[in-house]
Chain A
């Protein structure tokens, strides 16, 4: 009987990277990638950026051409949703009734959108942006719409708002908290982005959740928690995601708002690893447990997971980084700046090019850079090396941070 394959569940950034890394590390046995979606693995970041704006075709989002899967002997099964993992039998079952035996298993199931919960949330035409299909559906509707409501002032909601304004749509954006991107950035950055969006004509309603959505003759009526109401053509919600950990939990793997993995990306079963948005992981760089939703985390953790599948246990210690494009402003984040007990501004917010460096217990823990890429890259290097810098040093634009990073 042929040896059972290594099986990867989830054809997103992490799943593709696990396959790629397994081959790079020399695994030459059978390899199967089970993917629920109908498209081959593709990049998500452009879905709320260039792709939504209409500047890219779907094929340009694919990580690899179909020839790559053949050449690397990765058996990609699209539209194949795994419904159960039988750890005793080392077998997964799929929604189409098929079963696949595994020698080792990797979970890269990612996350799914958190749906709105208010009355009217079940109206079929409320848009979300998680998958290519979601973004294609929204993109197809934009030409026929003049008025958008965006629910959620996080990265995705703000990116969608920026694209919609650039396309000339009116945009009302609701955020229940009193500032934008509140979980990820400090008030200085939130305030800058609030002014940026207002300057571009977004009707920004902070501290204002939505209460209900109703269908009207000509569109959708959004009622907010403060008693306001606005009629729009499209409602787009970006209120966060939920990790896809149900099949792992049902198989008895430890889950705590994500599949629990150690610094080597190993689950509580020695033959199963997990990586990407779906994991609640021990992050060696942060020295604590966390769940991250980013390209960096998907890729770097997937590399660790692949190595662990092959028995080599390099820990996951990479510096987190993230970016967001809104209008012509690039936000780049290095490290995890929240929480912090001190911060230092480099550059000026008035110039539109500045960074906020964050410190905890006197140590640099991260920086958010707005149209200031050199600071971002310097910070990533400083963090990776553990180089000490002071708040006074980073606040002084005359101090060359890259020079310090180069050592």
Chain B
């Protein structure tokens, strides 16, 4: 099972087994990662699942599509490596992915 490392806003780091096929957001919720709120449940409507993708993983994860790009406009602090974790599907290719949870409570 792919391993995803989540770093929450307080700097706590946790590596979790997340099954392929679900989203990085769902992996966070299932593992109780602090700061991924995901109030729209993955419909790309709220931006409260915002995280920063570790620079080394940006190519593998890819860029946001048009809807996600727009929704990211609601994010508190958008950066070049910003992604909405509900739009990243976990797969073997992302085994080892590291994401840093953004401030989603602001």
Residues of A at under 8 Å CB distance from B?
Answer: 17, 24, 43, 45-46, 60-61, 63-65, 67-68, 71, 295, 299, 321, 323, 325, 330, 332, 373-374, 376-378, 380-381, 402, 405
Contacts and interface: CB of A to CB of B under 8 A. Distances in A.
Contacts of A376: 70
B103 interface: no
Interface residues of B, number: 19
A43 B42 CA distance: 10
Interface string B72-106: 01100000000000000000000000000000010
A65 B26 CA distance: 10
Nearest to B31: A65
B22 A60 contact: yes
Given A60-B22, A65-B29, A68-B32, A45 B70 contact: no
A402 B67 contact: no
A381 B70 contact: no
Top 8 A-B pairs, shortest CB-CB distance? A373-B70, A43-B41, A374-B70, A373-B67, A377-B70, A377-B73, A299-B39, A65-B30
B3 to A, nearest CB: 18
Interface string B21-48: 0100010011110000001110101000
A376 B44 CA distance: 12
Contact of A373 (B22, B29, B66): B66
Interface of B: 22, 26, 29-32, 39-41, 43, 45, 66-67, 69-71, 73-74, 105
Contact of A321 (B22, B32, B45): B45
Nearest to B65: A373
Contact of A71 (B26, B32, B39, B43): B32
Contacts, number: 53
B40 A402 contact: no
Nearest to A46: B41
A59 to B, nearest CB: 9
Contacts of A374: 66, 69-70, 73
Contacts of A17: 39
Contacts of A323: 40, 43, 45
B4 to A, nearest CB: 16
A69 B40 CA distance: 20
Contacts of B67: 330, 373
A381 B74 contact: yes
Contacts of B70: 373-374, 376-378
Of A68, A330, A377, the most chain B CB neighbours within 10 A belong to: A377
Nearest to A17: B39
Nearest to B73: A377
Contacts of B71: 373, 377
